[in-house]
Amino acid sequence: EDQVTQSPEALRLQEGESSSLNCSYTVSGLRGLFWYRQDPGKGPEFLFTLYSAGEEKEKERLKATLTKKESFLHITAPKPEDSATYLCAVQAPNSGGSNYKLTFGKGTLLTVNP
Amino acid sequence: EAGVTQFPSHSVIEKGQTVTLRCDPISGHDNLYWYRRVMGKEIKFLLHFVKESKQDESGMPNNRFLAERTGGTYSTLKVQPAELEDSGVYFCASSLWSGQPQHFGDGTRLSIL
C-alpha cells in the first residue's frame, strides 16, 4: 500500500527565515508527486507536480525537489501570507495501470510570523 | 475559468437520514474524483469517474455511499443512511486528463449528529 509521511507536523518561522518541509513516500512505482497548499476552510490548491528523481520546480518563494524516496518543499524568505497547510500526495499505478488516485500525507502546518 | 464548485458547503443531519452532496467540475474536465477527510486523518480517496463511468471505486467505504455522474457533467454523492463515522469534509476534484494535476473544490463539511 502506498504511504506518504510528512514532517514536521507543524513549523513556525519568522518572516524571512528559510526552511524546508519533507515528504517521504513508499510506492511500488511513482507516476507523480504533487504538492498542494491548503488554507483554512478551503480546498487544496495545486502547486507543483514532480515526475522523476532529480526534478525541481519553482514558484515565487517555493522550490520543490524530488529523490527516489522523498521530496522537499523549500521556502525561501517566507512571508506571513505563506502561512498555510502544505500537503504532499503521490500517484502510483496499480497492476492494471488504471490507478490515478492521490494518496495524501497529513500535511505540515506552516505559520510565518511577521 | 470557474473552478470546481461543491454544494452545500456545510450540512448537518441526524444519524439515519440521507444527504446528497453535489460537485460541478471544471468545464471540459472528463475526470472527476471524490475524497474525504475525517477529523485528524489525511485526505483519502473515495472514487474516480471518467466521464460517466466509474474508473475506480476502491475507496468507497461501504454500500451506504452511492456516487453518480449522469451525462458526464456534475456528480452527486449520496449517503444513505448516514452514520456518525461519516462526519468529515468531502472534497471533489477534477482534471482534464487522468494523469494531470487534480483541482479541488472547497469541500462539503458534513456533520452527523
Chain B interface includes A35 (CB < 8 A): no
At B99 the pLDDT is 84
Asked if A107 reaches chain B (Cβ–Cβ under 8 Å), the answer is: yes
Q: Which residues of B touch A (CB under 8 A)?
A: 4, 31, 33, 35, 41-45, 48, 55-56, 58-59, 91, 93, 98-99, 101-107
Dihedral (CA of B38, B40, B45, B51) sign? positive
Instruction: Please indicate whether, in this complex, the C-beta atoms of B33 and A44 are within 8 angstroms of each other.
Output: no
Give A3-50 pLDDT, tens digit per residue. 999 999 999 999 999 999 999 999 888 899 999 999 999 999 999 999
- Partners of residue B34 in chain A, C-beta under 8 Å: none
CB atoms inside a 10 Å sphere around CB A77: 12
Which of A31, A43, A101 has its CB closest to that of B48? A101
List the single residue in B42, B44, B98 with the smallest CB-CB distance to A100: B98
Contact A32, A25 (CB under 8 A): no
Per-residue pLDDT of B1-35, as tens digits, reads 789 999 999 999 999 999 999 999 999 999 999 99
Number of H helices, E strands in chain A: 0, 11
- The domain limits of chain B are 5-112
Contacts of B55 in chain A (CB under 8 A): 98, 100
- The CATH number that domain A3-113 falls under is 2.60.40.10
Architecture of B5-112 per CATH?
Answer: Sandwich (2.60)
